[in-house]
Structure 1
Amino acid sequence: MPLDGQTQTLNRIYKDRDAQDVLAHALSSFGDMALVSSFGAESVVLLHMAAQIDTSVPALFIDTEMLFAETLDYQRDVAATLGLSNVQVIRATRDVLFERDNENLLHLHDPDACCALRKTEPLQKALLGFDGWISGRKRYQGGERQALDLFEVDRPLGRMPRVKVNPLARWDSGDLRDYIATHNLPRHPLVAKGFPSVGCAPCTTRVGSGENARAGRWRDQGKTECGIHVRDGGAQRSA
């Protein structure tokens, strides 16, 4: 069955199933799968679920070299706490960074190009060895994510389509808090300081009372996605 038909069928079958069931199916049914994680504010939930199934699951962590120091520390702490043995740190190469952003100022005048250089391109290269990947996106985060399916088809430009799975698509912030509390999981240290969504340090600000959790990402820049989540070759963004 073509991949589009497979994902449509799976979305019907799993529409009322637990996130753990969705993740287990993803890891057992599509060949080599990678879990892509920012090790951000909510990432520990999906990472913990994966560790309960297989601690050797490939977990791809993109180090843009502009992350908060707290995120780098948290990544190491979470991996050790959960026993994750296959965390793969992804970075742009020195040569590419020197050629396109030798002063580390690209984010100031072209944040899309900076995200492409430091996140999208390294990830797409890393994913070449996998049949599909797993993300932690959720509908409650807003924008186009409001219509997010559990199973979808990822169509990177110039590459064969592959499956993309979003086990937490139906979860909200309360579900995440409850899961973290139930399993006594470590929280990202910046959450308590007003950062409910954590990206690169130059492009992430604190979020005020009543604001969307992602309001602090690329504030006032008309940008809501880094570009690693694409649809038919284009970055998924909210209006």
Structure 2
Amino acid sequence: MTFQELETKIKEYKADGKKLFTTSSFQTHSLVMLHMLSRIDNSIPVYFINTGYLFPDTIAFKDQVAKEFGIKVLDVKSSMPRNMQVGNDGKLLFTSDPDYCCYINKTQPTDALLQEHDIWINGVRADQSAVRAAMKVEQPAPHNTFRFHPMLDWNAKMIFQYIREHNLPRHPMDAKGYMSIGCEPCTRKMDPEMQEREARWFGMKKTECGLHTDLISK
């Protein structure tokens, strides 16, 4: 979807009285959509899902980007304290049940956002994983809402060409070999033979946190 097509769609949603929001992990590749949205309507709230396990570099980069782009960024987090996020063995859930950890810290807080909005503008790309390749530009989501995926037909080459053209900042961990950056315990540097999402939850046969599997209405 081009900038002009995205602008037209945003205007259509707003003309219909739809309440919009977006989420962002504030990785380098996620900045293209944020930059375009900031040029179209910087009043659209950007929610930052703060799991409590993120790299300090990500927190600092989020603040930098919010200031540079002039966007409204709001933190959202789980209502469950970390000291309660343990399994029967007493270990933190990211070590014993990463799916449930993601559910508590990412899926539940985002589900609550869907209850308050109509359209979730989401930056997934089809080239990132098989799950995302099966998505459509517009898809029903829980609570009678819709997911809108304007970046679905973009690929990594297009993303980084836009970043160069507009001189967008880069996440400081890019230079250290990190390409897909999530929570600190579940993120590692990429090996040359890896696909982008395989550096997350390495060795766990897991490439999605639940936001793009649980929060889609079938």
TM-score normalized by the length of structure 1: 0.82
Could you tell me which residue of structure 2 aligns to residue 81 of structure 1?
68
Describe the superposition over 1:56-83 as per-residue Cα deviations: whole angstroms up to 9, x where unpaired: 1110110001001110001000000001
Structure 1 residue 54 corresponds to structure 2 residue 37: no
Structure 1 range deviating more: 116-125 or 69-78: 116-125
For residue 79 of structure 1, what is the amino acid of its counterpart?
A
Structure 1 residue 162 corresponds to structure 2 residue 139: no
Could you tell me which residue of structure 2 aligns to residue 18 of structure 1?
2
Match runs of 1:34-49 below 5 Å: 34-49=21-36
Structure 1 residue 100 corresponds to structure 2 residue 70: no
Q: Are residues 88 and 24 of structure 1, via their aligned partners in 2, closer, same or farther at CA, if it must alter by over 3 Å?
A: farther
Q: Are residues 70 and 20 of structure 1, via their aligned partners in 2, closer, same or farther at CA, if it must alter by over 3 Å?
A: farther
Could you tell me which residue of structure 1 aligns to residue 177 of structure 2?
194
* SS of 1:215 mapped into structure 2: helix
* SS of 2:197 mapped into structure 1: coil
Could you tell me which residue of structure 2 aligns to residue 129 of structure 1?
116
Describe the superposition over 1:18-71 as per-residue Cα deviations: whole angstroms up to 9, x where unpaired: 254135414541500111111123111110000001111110110001001110
* SS of 1:42 mapped into structure 2: helix
| Aligned with residue 184 of structure 1, among 163, 167, 171 | 167
2: CA distance, partners of 1:178 / 1:107 = 35
Describe the superposition over 1:179-227 as per-residue Cα deviations: whole angstroms up to 9, x where unpaired: 0000000011111211111110100100011321111011110111101
Unaligned runs of 5+ in 2: none
CA RMSD of aligned residues (A): 2.2
Structure 1 residue 90 corresponds to structure 2 residue 71: no
Query: Is the CA contact 1:150–1:167 (under 8 Å) kept in the aligned structure 2?
Result: yes
TM-score normalized by the length of structure 2: 0.90
Q: Are residues 187 and 33 of structure 1, via their aligned partners in 2, closer, same or farther at CA, if it must alter by over 3 Å?
A: same
2: CA distance, partners of 1:70 / 1:18 = 30
2: CA distance, partners of 1:61 / 1:25 = 23
Unaligned runs of 5+ in 1: 1-16
For residue 222 of structure 1, what is the amino acid of its counterpart?
K
1: CA distance, partners of 2:7 / 2:160 = 19
Query: Is the CA contact 2:20–2:121 (under 8 Å) kept in the aligned structure 1?
Result: yes
Identity %: 33
For residue 75 of structure 2, what is the amino acid of its counterpart?
V
For residue 51 of structure 1, what is the amino acid of its counterpart?
S
Deviation at 1:147, TM superposition (A): 2.4
2: CA distance, partners of 1:230 / 1:34 = 19
Q: Are residues 208 and 232 of structure 1, via their aligned partners in 2, closer, same or farther at CA, if it must alter by over 3 Å?
A: closer
Q: Are residues 225 and 20 of structure 1, via their aligned partners in 2, closer, same or farther at CA, if it must alter by over 3 Å?
A: farther
Deviation at 1:161, TM superposition (A): 2.5
Deviation at 1:100, TM superposition (A): 3.2
Q: Structure 1: which 4+ aligned runs deviate by more than 4 Å?
A: 231-234
Query: Is the CA contact 2:140–2:216 (under 8 Å) kept in the aligned structure 1?
Result: no
Structure 1 residue 114 corresponds to structure 2 residue 98: no
